[in-house]
Amino acid sequence: MKDHVGFLKENINKDMSLSEIVDVFEKMCAEPIDDDMLLYETGVYDFTGEPYFYFSLARQFPNEEEEFYQIHVDVLYKPSSGNQDFMDSEWNDFIDGDFFDYIRHSPAFEYASSDQIEKIEIYMDET
């Protein structure tokens, strides 16, 4: 699974558009993993001691210990009055239609696509 993280790190950079970042994540998800789920989240959070607006994509799949691995792409923006109201958290199982179409047609995507990316975090963790 670390090769998935490596793929993302090699193909995503801060100079890309949000649309291009989502495209790379979608391409990584095209490679099958048993029992995986996809998560899309947005909102202003203070996970690191400094608040950011998060536009986050995650791919979750079971590990050997009945827990889960999660591969994350967090696109971070400065919080503002324009993005503070975007709060969304959707698993692909609860979306009618294509997961990535849902993301690309979301108000948060439209807003974030025209905003300046502060940084991108790509990592894998376990629940």
The angle that helices 2-11 and 18-29 make with each other, rounded to 10 degrees, is 150
pLDDT band at 7 (very low <50, low <70, confident <90, very high): very high
Record the pTM: 0.93
Concatenating the DSSP letter of every residue in 48-102 gives TSS-EEEEEEEEEEE-TTSSEEEEEEEEEE---TTTTT--EEEEGGG-SS-HHHH
What is the chain's mean pLDDT, rounded? 94
Q: 24-79, pLDDT tens digit by residue?
A: 999 999 988 889 999 999 999 998 889 999 999 999 999 888 899 999 999 999 99
DSSP 115: S
